[in-house]
Amino acid sequence: MKDRAREAEEAARLRSEVAAALQLIEMLKSSGLKAVQEVREEAEREANVANMLRRQLDDQKESARQTLDAVNAEVSATAERRYKEGVAQGESQSLINRRADSVRVIELERELQRQEVLVEQLRRKAACDGNLQREEADREIRDLREELKKRDSAFATMNERMKRSREEDIEPVSYTHLTLPTTPYV
């Protein structure tokens, strides 16, 4: 009798632990999903920042191209005018201006390349951060599922023992020792 009570208490305790484990799994799922959502939102924000930087770089690049076109047009006009005037000094100045403009264009292109590398690094960082958090959440969920399987197995074993114990406690009753009453009137 005491064994049954102990087994019942143990079964109740295991049920309670299973329920607590299920609640913990749900909580971890919820927090994992929340973490994944936060990572996605952060990645989206990072992507938006990267896109904004890219647009700014594109605008700067376009502005630099327009400036270069204007400078080239101006240099060409100046060179042509001085050539027509026959001023040897104008031709050399035009060449100097073109070289300076070429150096400026090269510097602007290098700056653009540096900015593009930074944008790509930001994108990669955002992608890596999201994957790490998802992997940690998945690992925790797997561990909890394994623990739940172990406890479920222990619970099933305990139930089986209880069934066997109940079956063993039932003993057949024999009534063969009883006799029918014998009287002269029977």
109 or 74: which carries more pLDDT confidence?
74
Rounded (5°) CA angle 71-72-76: 115
Q: Where are the domains of the chain?
A: 2-164
Q: Return the top range by mean pLDDT from 29-43, 97-111, 114-128.
A: 29-43
3 state DSSP class of 101: helix
What's the pTM value of the predicted model, to 2 decimals? 0.31
Mean pLDDT of 143-167: 74
Q: How does residue 142 score in pLDDT terms, banded at 50, 70 and 90?
A: confident
Phi and psi based region of residue 163 (left: phi greater than 0; alpha: psi -120 to 50; beta: remaining): alpha
Q: How does residue 67 score in pLDDT terms, banded at 50, 70 and 90?
A: confident
Q: How does residue 82 score in pLDDT terms, banded at 50, 70 and 90?
A: confident
CB atoms within 10 A of CB 170: 7
